[in-house]
Amino acid sequence: MAPTFAEATAVKAVDSHTYATNFDTEWCVGSVPHGGVVTSVFLRVAADHFRTTLATQNQPHTISLHLEFLRRTQCGPAMLAVRDIKLGRQTSTIHVELSQDGRQEVVGYLTQSNMDAESGLSLKTPWLLQPPPPPPPVDFAALLAGAEDANWIRDVIEMDAAKFRKISHRARTFLPREGQTTPGLIDEWLRLDSGERFTNESLGFVSDFFPLIIHELWRKEHPDKRVPGFWFPTVVLNLDIKKALPRQGIEWLFVRVQVKNLRNGRMDFEVIILDEAGDIVALSHHVVLVVGMERNLAARGNDQAKI
């Protein structure tokens, strides 16, 4: 049985500034831990660090995250070392470095605050999702149980893709029944398959979990050719968290992902995460490579394995 999300992203304090985790194969793409899982591990480290070592800061919420994926991670144990960069009254920033077998693989900066204590200017903006997505499901519980919804249908994962992307089994994705509004854009409603609820530490995973977005773009330009086996390693991931989710979490989140430019094997992802009320929970931007699947499965070199 696959570990739960909480188990797959659990961290354990080794000392005041060092944490250990273990990446499970069931939460991987090929041989590489899913980038969203790695991101959620960083969020858990920050949450634990500010609950223990930096508890007097009273800044439990990550409001900003920036990660650089330097090298390919792997299944198994990993260590995360924390440096306290700036401790402030309103915000504090830490640097976190993830390493495996002596390799520095992912580094990041996370900024913490206390969203419950925030005050200051608030103004409404006219921003809306464009093009608009279909109306939300009428009954989420019925949709989950298999009832038909007028606007949303469960994503069906191809067997070959599911073998390579074990992570695809870890959440249930519901897509527009009439198809996406335009190529290069995906709207989805998302729920963890285990029934666990999304918390702020889950947002790293949510920001990186969606169907293969380039397939429709490929078919538009190459209608008679099969889509090759691609792997999409993340180079940079930024996360701007706008809202503190309830402590008990929420069951469903809406995600919109859009590619603006795919050129020479490099593309961007713009990710918008909303709750059932339509409030912005988080915004994310990724820099991603498009490479052959064999790069994911290739044997490591003797010292520093690059993406």
Write out the chain in H/E/C secondary structure.
Answer: CCCCHHHHCCCEEEECCEEEEEECHHHEECCEECHHHHHHHHHHHHHHHHHCCCHHHCCCEEEEEEEEECECCCCEEEEEEEEEEEECCCCEEEEEEEEECCEEEEEEEEEEECHHHCCCCCCCCCCCCCCCCCCCCCCHHHHHHCCCCCCEEECCCCHHHHHHCHHHHCEEEEEECCCCCCCCEEEEEEEECCCCCECHHHHHHHCCCCCCCCHHHHHHHCCCCCCCCEECCEEEEEEEECCCCCCCCECCEEEEEECCCEECCEEEEEEEEECCCCCEEEEEEEEEECEEHHHHHCCCCCCCCEC
CA dihedral 191, 246, 240, 202 (to 10 degrees): -40
Maximum Cα interatomic distance, the chain, rounded to a whole number of Å: 61
**pLDDT at position 299:** 81
pLDDT in tens, 34-53: 999 999 999 999 999 999 99
Q: How far apart are CA 174 and CA 189, in angstroms?
A: 5
**pLDDT at position 292:** 92
Long-range interactions of 154-160: CB distance < 8 A, separation 24+: 155/188, 155/211
Strand 103-113 and strand 61-69: pairing? antiparallel
Q: How far apart are CA 65 and CA 158, in angstroms?
A: 33
How many C-beta neighbours within 10 Å does residue 153 have?
15
**pLDDT at position 302:** 54
**pLDDT at position 22:** 98
Burial of 196-216, coded b for 16+ CB within 10 Å and e otherwise, reads: bbbbbbbbbbbbbbbbbbbeb
Euclidean distance between the first and the last CA atom of the chain, given in angstroms as a whole number? 29
Return the bridge partners of 269, or none: 286
- Phi and psi, residue 218, nearest 5°: -65, -50
pLDDT in tens, 189-219: 999 999 999 999 999 999 999 998 998 899 8
Closest by alpha carbon to 60, among 49, 68, 74? 49
Low-confidence stretches of the chain (pLDDT beneath 70): 158-162, 301-307
